[in-house]
Structure 1
């Protein structure tokens, strides 16, 4: 029965996004908010705002009908915040600093605030605010788990953003991890259905958007990839056991260290299996 509930939310979110997507793409194109894709074709940027718009519409309706609890507002706040700061980076961002290391070097060494550093700082604060909603532990344990949960949310947000360099790549990463989280949620005893519902809403919206991304007709931008990453981190924090969260954090830390030293795109292109997955659905 619970899977019917999740599928229903996903279907509604899919339909809402399909209705909004042409309008959002037209609005951004009309406003001149376009950018060359990897084939040097001018396409609208920041189309990932449809994820937040769909989330607000679907989850507001779900609250009205009593399908989700009012605690959903914490998730909506987090998604909206990261979408907003992602949009700032899409609109005003420059590329003279890249990666977390580059942006923080600009901030602390050169005393220059980049949009990437602003997004990272805001993302960290949002991650802490969200993590405070968890009732994990007490005393010293509570502070340790707050740090653990906050790092997972913040690094998950940035990790998906790092994948968003080719059509469909960030979406595929989200869907692969999302399937794992949905299955893990079935065996969780922490009341995970509420959080899997949030995952279902974002997934439905992403599936409606994905065809235009794979065809390189639109870019989700940081406006969208931040929402995808935050959602994965958010759901992980609230449904996973502590050992699994520690393991996931170690993977995130390793991934960020790797991408600071090596090109993720080159790693994928040199690996036949990864390159095959990367090319699915693309011309």
Structure 2
């Protein structure tokens, strides 16, 4: 019942708040030209920060453990790092290799700041929420959180792609660990993404680093809390391989070459929105 209430309230709050955030972002310069040459808001994932602030009282009531505070602080901090990148980031350096390469040349990029800040935040969240666990479990959880945040960011390259994968990730956790109370923490996000999805699928707005970081951090934290350690290691290995792959190859090109993946990727888009995407900004 709590999952339904949390998800339903997340859906309703996002539905009500989203138009105001879209207007606010566009009027204050947080907008980019999309592939069709239309100026659309970027960083709309900021709406989920306020959804969680409004639902925080329920989460503290339903889940009376320190994890709630770590979860909320972690998501807000990751969203803040992403918002900085959305506002100030340049496209001169791409990928982890590009950003850290720039750092070694004496230039700090917003991508490097996001990676370093996210890594520290993930370590603090893991150490605080998993207090008493062995050091290697804390480090593994931190790596999982940081990699998941960046993975959702990597996927936010076409309308609806990051939203679909995030909802699928939540459903997998729900099916596999439906009795775990930590899943309640993701209910507002799942409901909010359902309300936001049509806007993203139509190419009318972008989650941006703000949204993808927040979503990925939330998924990563709960995944680290519900999975056994051995399974966490497997997930971390898969995410590392994905990151190495995307440093060399274009994920979008791979999807476009595979008929089934292309079908899933374009599912839900309308008209010409299915022909382009958020990475053509």
Normalising by structure 1, report the TM-score.
0.92
Contact 2:130 2:138 in 1 (8 A): no
SS at 1:35's partner residue? Answer: strand
Q: Distance in 2 between matches of 1:27 and 1:87?
A: 14
Residues 156, 232 of structure 1: 8 Å contact kept: yes
Query: Is the 1:237–1:245 contact (alpha carbons within 8 Å) kept by the matching residues of 2?
Result: yes
Deviations 1:1-23 (A, max 9, x none): xxx21011000111111110011
Do 2:30 and 2:86's aligned partners in 1 also have CA atoms closer than 8 Å? no
- Tell me how far apart the structure 1 counterparts of residues 189 and 74 of structure 2 sit (CA, whole Å): 13
- In the TM superposition, 1:126-141 aligns within 5 A as 126-135=121-130
**SS of residue paired to 2:85:** helix
Q: Report the secondary structure of 2:91's partner residue.
A: coil
List aligned pairs for 1:111-126, cutoff 5 A.
111-126=106-121
Deviation per residue, 1:77-103 (Å, 9 max, x gap): 011001111000000000111011111
> Quick check: 177-186 or 256-265, which moved more?
177-186
Structure 1 unaligned blocks of 5 or more? none
**2:82 is aligned with 1:86:** yes
Alpha-carbon displacement from aligned partner over 1:100-149 (angstroms, at most 9, x marks no partner): 111111112x11100000000110011001101344765xxx11111111
Q: Give, in angstroms, the shift of residue 32 of structure 1.
A: 2.8
Q: 8 Å contact 1:51–1:202 — kept in the other structure?
A: yes
Matched, 1:154 2:146: yes
Provide structure 2 residue ranges, at least 5 long, that are not aligned to the other structure: 271-281
Q: Is the 8 A contact 1:38 1:166 kept in 2?
A: no
Change (3 A) 1:173 1:57: same
Match of 2:242 among 241, 255, 273: 255
Tell me the distance in 1 between the aligned counterparts of 2:142 and 2:91. 27
Indicate the RMSD between aligned Cα atoms, in angstroms: 1.3
| Counterparts of 2:184 and 2:207, CA distance in 1 | 22
Residue of structure 1 in register with 2:273 after alignment: none
How many aligned positions are there?
269
1:275 is the counterpart of 2:259: no
Structure 1 equivalent of residue 163 of structure 2: 171
**8 Å contact 1:164–1:170 — kept in the other structure?**
yes
Question: TM-score when scaled to structure 2?
Answer: 0.92
